């Protein structure tokens, strides 16, 4: 594997503190400690935000930290369960997914689906005790939360609430902004804390500088030689296409690095961004269309105008 491809791989797996990441991890670590030191009471945290706002990075780092806390704290061996909420869960769907994530005692899904909801809930509670489950992460929980308040979802809401009320488990509900319905409709407001992740913005000179610092840190950690990533001719078109979506920002640089490698380049140049450009931002209906072509070929002054920037970027 070439040097640039190795650096692209490092970039894809890099965790860089951005925005409130450090603060959010500190809060989650505190909640884990509380759950580990509790005998009866559980806790809840809602992590909401749009795609590309850093939720996945936060959850991955949180689980890694929680594993260390369990191993280093001298506690009884404990289990962390992390699962993806099934799409549009109704009736027993959520309970069945929970059992499979935690290690169902049933042979297969067909057998499990025949079990009554009451017994499924009993088995979940039994697994929490027998496996000493202390952290349970529900990703994409908007699938369940959007039904919160309906009669069919009431059983799910009440059951998860009962876990928090009676078991020393930290439950993390993560997903899009609809996850906040957990508190509004599920009466979890007094039982949960909230983390709202935001995409990067450049609404002010200070925010723009924070964005540039983030890009510079990415380049510094990966050690990619060549054009500076925080240069306006790179930073502005990258933001125009990504609109602050961290995944799109990373993909922009990974794509440019991969393209540069095809030509055995030793360092990354602006032309590699131009040649590997692909449209990532699609204006909403009625929104002004500033560029119909390659964003990386646009003058800085036009990018400034398109992004509505009213401060100096040079």
H or E element at residue 134: strand 133-139
The pLDDT score that the predictor gives to residue 256 is 97
- Asked whether 274 and 294 are in contact (CB, 8 A), the reply is yes
225: alpha, beta or left? (left if phi > 0; alpha if psi -120 to 50):
beta
The pLDDT score that the predictor gives to residue 39 is 86
CATH class for the domain made up of 21-196: alpha beta
Of the candidates 262, 261, 248, 256, the one whose C-alpha atom is nearest the C-alpha of residue 3 is 261
Q: For the chain, give every domain's residue range.
A: 3-14+201-306, 21-196
**Dist. CA 53–CA 199, nearest whole Å:** 4
Q: Which residues on neighbouring strands pair with residue 79, listed in sequence order? A: 133
The pLDDT score that the predictor gives to residue 186 is 56
User: Residue 20 is encoded by which pair of tokens?
Assistant: 């409130």
Mean pLDDT by 10 residues, the chain (314 residues): 87 76 92 90 92 89 92 81 90 89 76 84 93 96 79 77 92 91 66 88 95 94 96 97 93 96 94 94 79 92 94 89
DSSP state of 226: B
DSSP state of 267: S
- Asked whether 152 and 186 are in contact (CB, 8 A), the reply is no
Expressed in angstroms, the distance from the first to the final Cα of the chain is 36
The pLDDT score that the predictor gives to residue 287 is 78
Helix, strand, or coil here: 173? strand
**Dist. CA 232–CA 179, nearest whole Å:** 36
89: CB partners within 8 A, 6+ apart: 97, 143, 144, 147, 156
The pLDDT score that the predictor gives to residue 149 is 64
88: alpha, beta or left? (left if phi > 0; alpha if psi -120 to 50):
left
pTM of the full predicted structure? 0.84
**Dist. CA 114–CA 126, nearest whole Å:** 19
208: CB partners within 8 A, 6+ apart: 202, 309, 311, 313
- Asked whether 4 and 260 are in contact (CB, 8 A), the reply is yes
Of the candidates 165, 186, 158, 150, the one whose C-alpha atom is nearest the C-alpha of residue 46 is 186
């Amino acid at each position: 594997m070439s040097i640039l491809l190795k650096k692209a791989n490092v970039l894809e797996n890099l965790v860089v503190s951005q925005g409130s990441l450090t603060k959010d991890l500190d809060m989650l670590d505190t909640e884990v400690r509380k759950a580990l030191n509790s005998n009866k009471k559980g806790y809840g945290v809602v992590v909401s935000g749009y795609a590309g706002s850093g939720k996945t990075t936060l959850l991955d780092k949180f689980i890694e930290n929680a594993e260390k806390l369990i191993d280093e704290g001298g506690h009884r061996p404990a289990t962390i369960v992390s699962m993806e909420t099934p799409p549009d869960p109704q009736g027993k769907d959520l309970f069945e997914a929970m059992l499979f994530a935690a290690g169902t005692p049933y042979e297969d899904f067909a057998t499990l689906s025949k079990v009554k909801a009451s017994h499924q809930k009993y088995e979940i509670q039994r697994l929490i005790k027998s496996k000493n489950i202390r952290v349970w992460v529900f990703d994409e929980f908007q699938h369940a939360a959007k039904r919160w308040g309906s009669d069919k979802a009431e059983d799910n809401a009440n059951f998860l609430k009962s876990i928090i009320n009676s078991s020393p488990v930290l439950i993390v509900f993560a997903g899009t902004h609809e996850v906040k319905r957990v508190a509004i409709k599920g009466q979890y407001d007094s039982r949960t804390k909230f983390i709202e992740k935001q995409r990067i913005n450049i609404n002010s000179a200070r925010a723009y500088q924070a964005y540039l610092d983030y890009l510079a840190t990415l380049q510094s950690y990966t050690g990619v030689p060549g054009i500076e990533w925080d240069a306006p001719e790179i930073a502005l078109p990258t933001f125009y296409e990504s609109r602050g979506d961290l995944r799109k920002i990373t993909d922009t640089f990974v794509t440019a690095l991969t393209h540069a490698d095809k030509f055995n380049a030793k360092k990354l140049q602006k032309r590699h961004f131009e040649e590997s450009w692909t449209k990532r931002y699609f204006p909403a209906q009625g929104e002004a269309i500033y560029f119909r072509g390659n964003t990386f070929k646009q003058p800085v002054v036009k990018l400034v105008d398109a992004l509505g920037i009213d401060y100096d970027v040079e």
